[in-house]
Amino acid sequence: MFSLLIRWRQNKVNFLFCFVLFFISTTSIAQTQQVGRIEFPMGQEEDASQYRVISTQEQGLLLIHRQSGKAEDQLILTQLDTLFNKQWEKSISVSININLLYTQVRKNTVYLLLRNQFQFILIFVDIRDGTLTLIELKNSIPFTPSKFSVTDKAALIGAYFNQRPFIFYFDFEQGRSKILPGFFNDVGELQQLETYEDGSIEVVVLAKNIERRESLWIRNYSAEGDLLNTVILQPDADKNLISGKSFRGHDGNQMVLGTYGRSYEFARGIFSATMNNAGEPVITYHNFGDLKRFFSFMRPRHEERVMKHIEQRREKGKKIRLNYRYLVHEVIPYGNEYILLGEVFAPHYTFIPGRFYGMRPDLIFDGYQYTHAVVAGFDKNGRLLWDNSFKIDNIKIPRLEQIVKLQPLENKIDMLYVHENYLRSKSISKTDIIENKIESQLYESPRPKNNTIESTKLDYWYEDRLCAYGSIQIKNPSFSVGAPTSRKVFFISKIVCQ
């Protein structure tokens, strides 16, 4: 049965996949530079969703291109080095019903998790030579996956069954699966699935406590999947915890950074949690109104009015009630500090005409509108040291995902994101601004306004490098009879922060 769903071959295939590699003249954005680009010709019917770019750190990039077929599709795997030279290429034939869900890189292996209805397939890809190994992950219950991670011993899938989160654990050596203990009791939200170098596992779930307030349940497991301990972060009586990122500090102690609010939907500020000498969590709350740069994404006069209003309320002894939808993304070590990166957004709705004359227009969801990213620095004791923000322009997407990437350097921190054909960046030194918003074209051409960008993304690569990629319809600068008026390419650019 499995062979009917997917088969693979290691010999080179005849794939019309020519590419052009050239180094472009570096486009300077302060000290952020675009130093190289590679292009892959696309068919006019193809779109950027058929391509996936995976960082393999100093070993380069793994490009996965899905080619559609009538009976089955082809997954073309191409490993590129850091100079965009092709190292190897392999092809995998898959059923048209199989979807590539998640990828994970660990040491010299890229793990691909595919799904066909309730059947899961795990492919091991050796980065060095492209050797492929396939495993079918057998599960006895249907579930909806939401997170994926691997260790040397096992593959882990964070999932939901009947709105209850759990962790599916598949042992590579024994070829057997199990559900990690501590789940299936209550409805909750799986917020984090983290694996460490020693194979240990950490799971963070947002769920209600006995008093019906949202709390964070942090469970730690051994490499074999045995439950070691559970830590519960419970908020004060008038608060709910909304999100949290758990991590191990430089000294090995556990910390949690996240958001809290009066209700579950809107955040009023950021919290930090550390463990005291008795191993009990201690939570400190930081209202958005106490941050120095939270509103710096606004126009100066607007920011001044907001800050004045906050100060007036504070002088009168009134509470600062600011409510924002704030999406926590990651915690990045920076010297002896830790930087929390999150983004503020709001759901956007639009009216569409009624189906018949005289009917009221319908209000429908139109995507998530991002406003700004916020960074905050903490010391090892959870004390807030500084904060800053970065305005996000014209980003509205159907699903929540991380837009801004952070590149901490020795004497500054770069904040970057891409929008259509533009790379935007801001350089800060904690609270201070070194370079305000700078913008530069990703793809330069004689007639850039005539080009159509379908999709662009920015991802971490290695060291101080990032990669920007997407598809673009390029209009030919001149027209001649019989010649195509445009060409479509998928491109990957190397971005260096210095």
Residue 184's pLDDT is 64
Q: Residue 360 — pLDDT band, cuts 50, 70, 90? A: confident
Q: Reply yes or no on whether the pLDDT at 12 is more than 50.
A: no
The C-alpha atoms of residue 360 and residue 56 are separated, in whole angstroms, by 52
244 has pLDDT over 70:
yes
Distance CA 258, CA 239 (A): 13
> What is the Cα–Cα distance from 351 to 446, expressed in whole angstroms?
38
CA distance 24 to 78: 22
Q: Which residues, in sequence order, are CB contacts of 358 under 8 Å at separation 6+? A: none
pLDDT band at 393 (very low <50, low <70, confident <90, very high): very high
For the chain, percent of residues with pLDDT exceeding 70: 89
Tell which wins on pLDDT, 241 or 143.
Answer: 241
Q: Indicate the DSSP class of residue 359.
A: P
Distance between alpha carbon 323 and the CA centroid of its chain, in Å?
24
- Cα distance between residue 468 and residue 27, in whole Å: 14
- In 3-state terms, what secondary structure has residue 8? strand
Rounded-to-integer distance, Cα 303 and Cα 295, Å: 6
* pTM: predicted TM-score of the whole model, two decimal places: 0.89
Q: In a 10 Å sphere around its CB, with 0-12 CB exposed, 13-18 middle and 19+ buried, how is residue 101 labelled?
A: middle
pLDDT band at 399 (very low <50, low <70, confident <90, very high): very high
- Choice among 52-66, 70-84, 228-242, 445-459 with the minimum mean pLDDT: 445-459
- From 469, 416, 465, select the one nearest 443 (Cα to Cα): 469
Least confident of 196-210, 217-231, 306-320: 306-320
As a whole number of angstroms, the distance between CA 26 and CA 451 comes to: 21
Check residue 10 and give its pLDDT. Answer: 40
Checking if the pLDDT of 37 tops 70, the result is yes
pLDDT one-digit tens code per residue, 160-205: 988 899 999 999 999 999 999 988 677 899 999 999 999 999 999 9
Q: What sign does the CA torsion over 423, 63, 465, 40 have?
A: negative
27 pLDDT more than 70: no
CB 242 within 8 A of CB 231: no
CB 260 within 8 A of CB 239: yes
Q: 208, 198 in Cβ contact below 8 A?
A: no
449 has pLDDT over 70? no
Tokens of 210: 């006995």
pLDDT in tens, 114-135: 998 878 999 999 999 999 999 9
- Locate 294 and state its tokens: 């939270």
Q: Under 8 Å CB-to-CB from 188, ≥6 apart: which residues?
A: 164, 165, 205, 206, 207, 208, 217
- Average pLDDT rounded to a whole number, residues 352-377: 85
Is 254 strand, coil or helix? strand
**Please, what sign has the CA dihedral across residues 107, 109, 112, 113?**
negative
Q: What is the mean pLDDT of residues 247-252?
A: 85
How far apart, in whole angstroms, are the C-alpha atoms of residue 101 and residue 476? Answer: 36
Highest mean pLDDT among 212-226, 263-277, 311-325, 354-368: 212-226
Token representation of residue 100: 């590539």
Three-class secondary structure of residue 9 per DSSP: strand
Which residues have CB under 8 Å from 475's CB, separation 6+?
A: 447, 450, 451, 485, 486
pLDDT category, 4, cuts 50, 70, 90?
A: very low
Helix, strand, or coil (residue 2): helix
Residue 3 has pLDDT above 80, yes or no: no
Segment 363-376 shows an average pLDDT of 95
The two tokens of residue 381 are: 């004791």
Give the pLDDT confidence score for residue 9 in this predicted structure. Answer: 42
Element (H, E) at 315: helix 300-315
